[in-house]
Amino acid sequence: MEENNEPVEGQNEKFENEDIIHDVIPVSGMYENWFLEYASYVILERAVPAIEDGFKPVQRRIMHAIKEMDDGRYNKVANIIGQTMQYHP
């Protein structure tokens, strides 16, 4: 499907003082930019392990929660998850 980027009549609204109110931006272009920004964030901030310890941020939160709960007894996974949820943004 080809996009028609030619100006459409009435695309820029003008009033008596000849100021442009707004430009029309195609919705498809906005979604492409938003998805690219989100994908970059996910790859860089959440999916790539850190060089220092090899953990992803979520894994680091889990390990911190386990260390905080360590009292020599066994802990159920559900309790670890509940403790970890305190650290999620």
What pLDDT is attached to residue 12?
Answer: 52
Calculate the CA 22 to chain-centre distance.
28
What pLDDT is attached to residue 20?
Answer: 66
In a domain, 64, yes or no: yes
CB 38 within 8 A of CB 56: no
What pLDDT is attached to residue 35?
Answer: 84
In a domain, 18, yes or no: no
Q: What's the token pair of residue 56?
A: 């992803």
Give yes or no for residue 10 having a pLDDT over 60. Answer: no
Q: What's the token pair of residue 32?
A: 């492409």
In a domain, 21, yes or no: no
3-state secondary structure of 14: strand
Q: How do residues 26-84 score in pLDDT, each as one tens digit?
A: 777 677 778 888 888 888 888 889 899 999 999 999 999 999 999 999 999 999 999 99
In a domain, 22, yes or no: no
In a domain, 3, yes or no: no
pTM: 0.56
Listing DSSP states for 50-62 in one string gives PTTTS--HHHHHH
Range of the domain at 56: 27-87
Calculate the CA 54 to chain-centre distance.
21
